[in-house]
Amino acid sequence: MSDVFETLKERGFVQQCTNEENVAHLLSGNPITYYVGFDPTADSLHAGSLVPIMAMAHLQRAGHKPIAIIGGGTTMIGDPTDKTEMRPMISAEQVEKNGESILKQLQRYLDLDNTEGFFLNNAEWLLSLNYIDFLRDIGKHFRVNEMIRAEGYRQRLERELGLSFLEFNYQLLQAYDYLCLFQKYGCVLQLGGDDQWGNIVAGVDLVRRIESERVHGLTFPLLTTAGGAKMGKTAGGAVWLDGEKTSPYQFYQYWINIDDRDVERFLAYFTFLPMDEVQRLGGLEHDEIREAKAVLAYQATKLAHGKVEADKAQSTSRAAFGGGGMDLDAMPTTVVSSDRLNAGIPIMELFHEVGLAASKSEARRLIQQGGAYINDKQYKAIDIVVDAKMLEENGLLLRAGKRRYHRVVLE
């Protein structure tokens, strides 16, 4: 078994760690069980979640057993950590539904078949808690003085924002999660974003106090892009792992369009390429860096959507930007009846209808500012009517700006 801890470290996954030597030692020995919590407030994970996912995958490849848990119980309270306001609560049914989608996505990266890995909802043990018992058995181990020192709480208190008692209990519940997982599954390592550090440590302490056992914690750095933006967000919103919400092609393009400065870091995080290769690619400059981005995009897409989709996305991208013809199959397409086209469709209407502009006014602006193209020809007059005469063999190729394409074909 190779030294996974070393791998995680050199790939940049380690931000804080309860005790580096112990964790390194633990990971180089017999298989252990570790866990990461995921937020079930949305029905899909997004690119930002790839950091914990990839870390889990590295560990599983080294023979360790992952537990992915969704906070069905905790979400019903709302996590105050690093939030300026209270997180909205969501219903148990919604959590259940979201959990199913999330599990499917995780399975692309991890084996969660209930032998090699597990997928659990903490509602399972949290919902049946009895208040008095919980206070007596768990609550007595927590010191309020310590709790309010935690960054997340402290900020809320200092900024005089107020913090409900409900939210204040979040840390106890997460610590309790760890305790349960330790007791039932022998879980001895919790991973999470650095904002979770306080909660993780609370769990480590709790297990030590109740079970007199030493368990461990490790956090990942919170990723931002070189531009300072949150990882995995774009104009259109989050970059989802769900192919329905973010198509494989869009997913691919997200990685292609990242800042040059992020290339090496992201290769280390989001691919399994050996580090010497990562460094070689990261060292490329100017035009060549695009090759590195292509590798990153392809690898990341392949992991998230499989080889077939990755190949398709890659060829579409190459065709679109490499000067050649487009890969028409992968392009979003709208079907229009020939009668309608023969009658003529105002250009603003067309751009709006296919979704390249959110409203007709936006379409108007786009056109007036020279961002509207049909079959690679720019059209700046808003009163143009698109009809069958403009049809080419592949239909109409609409483009908004440099990168957003849409095809219109006849019925």
Closer CB to RNA, 125 or 249, in the complex: 249
CB of 193 to RNA, least distance (A): 22
Closer CB to RNA, 25 or 261, in the complex: 261
Q: Report residue 3: phi and psi, to 5°.
A: -85, 95
**Residue 348 has what DSSP assignment?**
H
Closer CB to RNA, 120 or 350, in the complex: 350
CB of 228 to RNA, least distance (A): 8
CB of 174 to RNA, least distance (A): 22
Among 253, 298, 302, 305, binds RNA (CB under 7 A): 253
According to the binding rule CB under 7 A, does residue 283 interact with RNA? no
Closer CB to RNA, 158 or 411, in the complex: 158
- Which H or E element spans position 204? helix 197-211
CB of 317 to RNA, least distance (A): 4
Token representation of residue 141: 């181990």
Angle at 53 between CA 307 and CA 243, to 5 degrees: 45
Closer CB to RNA, 9 or 318, in the complex: 318
According to the binding rule CB under 7 A, does residue 62 interact with RNA? no
Closer CB to RNA, 146 or 259, in the complex: 259
Contacts of 376 (CB under 8 A, 6+ apart): 397, 399
Among 305, 352, 406, 407, binds RNA (CB under 7 A): 352
According to the binding rule CB under 7 A, does residue 259 interact with RNA? yes
- Which H or E element spans position 152? helix 151-158
CB 159 within 8 Å of CB 186:
no
Kindly give the residue spans of alpha helices, DSSP state H, lying in 230-359.
Answer: 248-256, 263-270, 275-282, 289-305, 307-321, 338-343, 347-353
The site for RNA, by CB under 7 A, has a size of 40
Q: What is the dihedral of CA 80, 85, 90, 96, to 10 degrees?
A: -50
Closer CB to RNA, 145 or 227, in the complex: 227
How far is Cα 138 from Cα 130, in angstroms, rounded to an integer?
Answer: 11
CB of 364 to RNA, least distance (A): 5
What are the C-alpha distances in Å from 359 to residues 350, 351, 363, 377, 385? 11, 9, 6, 22, 17
Identity of residue 148: I
How far is Cα 372 from Cα 401, in angstroms, rounded to an integer?
Answer: 6
CB of 4 to RNA, least distance (A): 32
CB of 353 to RNA, least distance (A): 11
Among 28, 344, 364, 390, binds RNA (CB under 7 A): 364
Closest to 119 in 3D by CA, of 129, 109, 128, 127? 109
Residues between 199 and 238 with contacts to RNA, criterion CB under 7 A: 227, 234-235
According to the binding rule CB under 7 A, does residue 134 interact with RNA? no
How many CB atoms neighbour CB 186 within 10 A? 12
According to the binding rule CB under 7 A, does residue 274 interact with RNA? no
Closer CB to RNA, 158 or 339, in the complex: 158
CB of 375 to RNA, least distance (A): 15
How many CB atoms neighbour CB 229 within 10 A? 11
Among 1, 148, 162, 307, binds RNA (CB under 7 A): 162
Among 362, 390, 409, 410, binds RNA (CB under 7 A): 362
Closer CB to RNA, 154 or 290, in the complex: 290
How far is Cα 365 from Cα 388, in angstroms, rounded to an integer?
Answer: 24
According to the binding rule CB under 7 A, does residue 317 interact with RNA? yes
CB of 306 to RNA, least distance (A): 20
How far is Cα 331 from Cα 247, in angstroms, rounded to an integer?
Answer: 10
According to the binding rule CB under 7 A, does residue 369 interact with RNA? yes
According to the binding rule CB under 7 A, does residue 108 interact with RNA? no
Closer CB to RNA, 29 or 237, in the complex: 237
According to the binding rule CB under 7 A, does residue 385 interact with RNA? no
Match 């009809």 to its residue by tokens: 387
Region of 1-9, 215-223, 333-341, 395-403 interacting with RNA (CB under 7 A): 395-403
What are the C-alpha distances in Å from 295 to residues 25, 56, 230, 273? 33, 22, 22, 10
The residues binding RNA (CB under 7 A) are 160-162, 227, 234-235, 253, 256-260, 285-287, 289-290, 293, 317-318, 320-322, 352, 358-362, 364-366, 369-371, 400-404
